C-alpha cells in the first residue's frame, strides 16, 4: 500500500511539474514578443529604400521573403506576399512598406521601410498564446500587431 501511494504521489508531482513548466508564461511572452517586434523595426532605418522599382512586384516579394521571414509567421508571410502581388495599398498587413509618397509628397517609385511606430501596452490572449500590441506613428496611423510563437521565436502573425 505504501509503495502504491508513493508511486501515485510521484505521478501527481511529475504531472504537476510537466504542466507547470510547459504552461504559457504571460510575463515572458510580453517581454520576448516586444523584443522581437522591436528587432523587426530595427532591421532597417525609417524611410530606407528597400526596392528601387516598385513596379516590379516580384522584386518586392523576393525582398520581403528573404529579409523578413525570421520576423513573420508562415501565414503572415503568405498573406503579405499576396497583397504585394495584388499591388501595394494601405492594407494593414503591409504596414511596414511605403510605396508612393516621399517627404516632399512627390511620387518616389521606391519601396521604403516604415518603422516610426511607438509600441503600446500589450494585450495577452492566453488561450491563443498570442500577444497583441497597438502601434502608432506620428502621422496618426495605428495598427494592432499580433505576435505569436512559431519555431520557438516570436513573430508577427496578424495585423489589423
pLDDT tens digits, residue range 78-89? Answer: 999 888 887 666
Is residue 60 predicted with pLDDT exceeding 70? yes
Residues 149-158: tens digit of each pLDDT: 999 999 999 9
Please give the pLDDT value at position 1. 65
* 132 neighbors 145 (Cβ within 8 angstroms): yes
Grid cell locating 35: 523584443
Instruction: Fill in the DSSP letter of residue 108.
Output: -
Please give the pLDDT value at position 105. 46
Q: How many CB atoms lie within 10 A of CB 26?
A: 14
Grid cell 508511486 in the structure block, residue:
7
Domains assigned to the chain = 26-159 (3.10.450)
Please give the pLDDT value at position 88. 65
β-sheet bridge partners, residue 123: 132
Please give the pLDDT value at position 130. 98
Q: Sign of torsion, CA 46 48 50 54? A: positive
Cα–Cα dist 26/42, whole Å? 24
Query: pTM of the prediction?
Result: 0.79
Amino acid at each position: 500500500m505504501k509503495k502504491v501511494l508513493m508511486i501515485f504521489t510521484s505521478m501527481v508531482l511529475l504531472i504537476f511539474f510537466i504542466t507547470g513548466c510547459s504552461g504559457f508564461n504571460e510575463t515572458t511572452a510580453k517581454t520576448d514578443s516586444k523584443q522581437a517586434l522591436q528587432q523587426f523595426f530595427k532591421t532597417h532605418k525609417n524611410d530606407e529604400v528597400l526596392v528601387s522599382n516598385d513596379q516590379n512586384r516580384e522584386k518586392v516579394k523576393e525582398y520581403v521573403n528573404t529579409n523578413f521571414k525570421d520576423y513573420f509567421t508562415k501565414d503572415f508571410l503568405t498573406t503579405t506576399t499576396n497583397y504585394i502581388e495584388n499591388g501595394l495599398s494601405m492594407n494593414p498587413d503591409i504596414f511596414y512598406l511605403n510605396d508612393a509618397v516621399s517627404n516632399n509628397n512627390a511620387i518616389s517609385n521606391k519601396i521604403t521601410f516604415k518603422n516610426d511606430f511607438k509600441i503600446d501596452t500589450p494585450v495577452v490572449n492566453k488561450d491563443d498564446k498570442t500577444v497583441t500590441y497597438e502601434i502608432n506613428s506620428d502621422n496618426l496611423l495605428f495598427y494592432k500587431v499580433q505576435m505569436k510563437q512559431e519555431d520557438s521565436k516570436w513573430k508577427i502573425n496578424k495585423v489589423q
